[in-house]
Amino acid sequence: MKILAIDTSTDYLSVAIHNEDGLIAERNFRSPMKHSSCLMPLIVESLALADLSIEAIDGFAVSLGPGSFTGLRVGVATMKGLVFATGKPIVGVPTLDVLAENITETAYHILPVLDAKREQVYASIYRYSGKKLKRLTDYLVIGIDDLLKKVRAKTIFLGDGLFDYRDVIREKKKDLAIFAPRDLWFTKASVVAKYGLERLKAGKVERAYDLTPLYLRPPEAEEKLAARSSASKCA
């Protein structure tokens, strides 16, 4: 079974093709604000690298978020289009699960932290149980100070939120914080594909019409519109 997977949840765009034997092709690059114009060419390039046609793909996987609102919309819409065109199944994978998988088996907790803007981060805490990664908290959108109150054990931090909050984490959790190498701070479609392949083989597919990004909070534009509507009712 061959699966095509994408991640558009951050500034880093990633496309991968995977089968039961492992990774066939993967392309990653930084493309802030360019996902809508770069994603399809990168998919075409990845298929060419793997010497495959889109018809040879058995299923699709997409990182659902949380993350960039625009990036997630582009990714989900593109994959829906491929599903409708080919009739192949699709699965969605939470982005924080994907990022946590960048850390191999360890006794420490793992805490992926993604920049959510507005002085917040997206985060969740994980640890390994045997060889399987277990999530210990809900998917969170939270201020960094409140997040750090949840850190009570040696924890490996990773994710693009560290660009803004690494110094704060080091200062407040200096005895507990371990920082992953920077090349592990970014989500990879190869991990989305790994999750997706497991779910497709288990028959855990999504209805394409129902597939939606995992936002955790409304986009800022919607919040502003709701605030204006509420204010007008009180005027």
Summarised one tens digit per residue, pLDDT across range 78-92 is 999 999 999 999 999
Q: Supply the mean pLDDT for the chain.
A: 92
Query: Does residue 108 share a domain with residue 89?
Result: no
- Token digits of residue 133: 């990664």
Query: Does residue 86 share a domain with residue 119?
Result: no
Question: At 116, which amino acid appears?
Answer: A
Note the pLDDT tens digit of each residue in 211-228. Answer: 999 999 876 545 544 445
Complete edge-to-edge strand list for the sheet that includes strand 3-7? 22-30, 12-19, 3-7, 59-65, 90-94
Asked whether the predicted pLDDT for residue 178 surpasses 50, the reply is yes
**pLDDT confidence of 97, banded at 50, 70, 90?**
very high
What one-character DSSP code corresponds to residue 8? Answer: -
Q: Are 118 and 92 in contact (CB under 8 A)?
A: no
Note the pLDDT tens digit of each residue in 128-170. Answer: 999 899 999 999 999 999 999 999 999 999 999 999 999 999 9
Q: Which residues form the domain of 15?
A: 3-94+187-218
Query: Does residue 8 share a domain with residue 36?
Result: yes
pLDDT of residue 227: 44
Name the percent of the chain lying above pLDDT 90.
85
Domain stop point among 162, 184, 206: 184
Q: How many structural domains is the chain composed of? A: 2
Query: Does residue 89 share a domain with residue 195?
Result: yes
Residue 225 falls within a domain, yes or no? no
CATH code of the domain in which 163 resides: 3.30.420.40
CA distance 219 to 19: 35
Residue 231 falls within a domain, yes or no? no
Q: Is the dihedral of CA 22, 155, 144, 165 positive or negative?
A: negative
